[in-house]
Amino acid sequence: MKKIITILVVGIFILSGLSATALLETKTSTSSRDELDQSQTVMTENAAVPVGNVPIPDNPPICIQVAQSFIPTKDVLTRVELFIGKNSTATYPLAVSIREELTEDDLTVINIDPSQVPTEDYDWVEIDFDDITVTTGLTYYVVALTENVTDNFYAWGANNISESYPDGCAWVSIDEGDTWTNESASSSYPNTAEAFSNQGAQPIFEDVVTWDMCFKTYGIDNAPPNAPSIDGQTSGKAGNEYEYTFNAVDPDGNDVKYFIDWGDGDTEWTDDFSASGTPVTVSHTWVEKDTYTITAKAQDEHGLEGPEGTLDVSMPKNKAYNFNFNLLSWLFERFPNAFPILGHMLGL
C-alpha cells in the first residue's frame, strides 16, 4: 500500500506523493450474480484528486467534489468500487452517488463512514448501492463529495498520463457542485498552478492530458419477465367475487409483481414481489353485467416490465333458466291470464 504524504497543488488538483505507477489489485467480487462492467484501475505516480475541504497555505481552503463519467453496457448497476484514502483529519462520511447529469439529483447515494476508508493509504472501497436500472450506451457519473468542514478531505486515485478509460473522464467542481470542469488545468479558476508555486509543485499537465479516476462498476444484464398466464372462471354473475391466478417467469430469476387491469376501470398492483414462476391469486368483483378483458403484465425487481397477458371474462346480461318449457307451455295454454309477467319475460 502506498502512503499519502505531503500534498502538492497543481491547478485545482492535489497530488499525493505516491512512489510508482501501478496496476492496482483487482479483488474478487463479493457478489456471485453481478459482473465487472466498466473500470479504470491504473493509478499513476503522484496522481490523485482530493475530495473535500483542502487546506492550502497562504490561501483560503477550497472544497472539491470529484466525479468520473462512464458508459454502462449492462442493464442494472449493482455497485461500484473506488480506489481511495483519507487524511487523518477526515471525520465526516464520504458520499458516493450515481447521477445522469452532474448538476441534477442523485439516482442513488450511499454515505461511507470514515472508518471504512484507509488513513493515509489507498485501497479499493466497495459502495454497494441498491440496484438501479440504467440505459446502456448513455453516460452516467460516479460522484464523490463530503462535508465542507476544515481539513475534512479524502483522496481519490487517478491516472493523468494516458487516456486510460475511453468512455469517460474525471470531472471536478470547486463551487459545491454548481459548475463542473473536465479540463486538466483551467485558467478559469482563481486557484491556478501559479497561485500555489510556493508549494514546489511542478506542473505536469498538458492540454491533451485526460484525467481518469480509479474506479470499477459492476452490473447485471436484465431481460423482462414473460407475459403472465391468467387462470380463473371465464363466466360468472355480476356482483359475485371471483379469484384469478397470475403467473409469470422471469428469465433472469428476478422476483416479480403484477399490474392488473380488470377491464372495468379498476386497476391495481399486487402488494409484494414474489419469486419468478410463483402463482399469485387476486380476487375481483364486476358490478355490471358485461364481457370484460383482464389484462396483466409482470414487473421485475429492477422495474423492467414485460408483455401483457389477457383473459376474457363474461358476466352475462341474460340469465339462464332451467324451467321445463313443455310444462310452462301447457300451463299458459290452460291459464293464459294467470302468469302475464312471467309469460312476457319468457316470450311465451
Instruction: Transcribe 32-72 into DSSP letters.
Output: SS-EEEEEE-EEPTT-EEEEEEEEETTEEEEEEEEEEEE--
Cα-based distances in Å from 18 to 5, 121, 126, 327: 8, 10, 22, 105
Return the C-alpha cell found at 40: 479504470
Q: Which residue has the higher pLDDT, 9 or 180?
A: 180
Tell me the mean pLDDT in the region 256-267.
97
Provide the pLDDT confidence category of residue 259 given band limits of 50, 70 and 90. very high
Quick one: pLDDT at residue 289? 95
Give me the residue spans of the domains in the chain: 8-220, 229-315, 321-348
Provide the pLDDT confidence category of residue 75 given band limits of 50, 70 and 90. very high
In CATH terms, the superfamily for domain 229-315 is: Immunoglobulins (2.60.40.10)
Name, in order, each residue with C-beta under 8 angstroms of 251's C-beta and a sequence gap of 6 or more. Answer: 223, 225, 226
Q: How much of the chain exceeds pLDDT 70, in percent?
A: 74
Q: Which residue has the higher pLDDT, 346 or 146?
A: 146
Q: How much of the chain exceeds pLDDT 90, in percent?
A: 64
The most confident of the ranges 15-19, 181-185, 237-241, 335-339 is 237-241
- Taking the C-alpha atoms of residue 77 and residue 68, their distance in angstroms, rounded to an integer, is 15
Quick one: pLDDT at residue 244? 98
Tell me the mean pLDDT in the region 31-45.
87
Quick one: pLDDT at residue 338? 60
Name, in order, each residue with C-beta under 8 angstroms of 181's C-beta and a sequence gap of 6 or more. Answer: 171, 172, 173, 188, 189
- Taking the C-alpha atoms of residue 160 and residue 46, their distance in angstroms, rounded to an integer, is 9
Provide the pLDDT confidence category of residue 205 given band limits of 50, 70 and 90. very low
Provide the pLDDT confidence category of residue 137 given band limits of 50, 70 and 90. very high
Q: Burial letters for 172-204: b for 16+ Cβ neighbours within 10 Å, e otherwise?
A: bbbeeeeebbebbbeeebebbbeebeebebeeb
Quick one: pLDDT at residue 59? 77
Task: Decide if 204 contacts 160 (C-beta within 8 A).
Answer: yes
Name, in order, each residue with C-beta under 8 angstroms of 108's C-beta and a sequence gap of 6 or more. Answer: 97, 98, 129, 130, 132
Quick one: pLDDT at residue 143? 98
Among 106-110, 117-121, 204-208, 220-224, name the one with the lowest average pLDDT. 204-208
Task: Decide if 279 contacts 246 (C-beta within 8 A).
Answer: yes
Q: Is 333 helix (H, G, I), strand (E, B) or coil?
A: helix
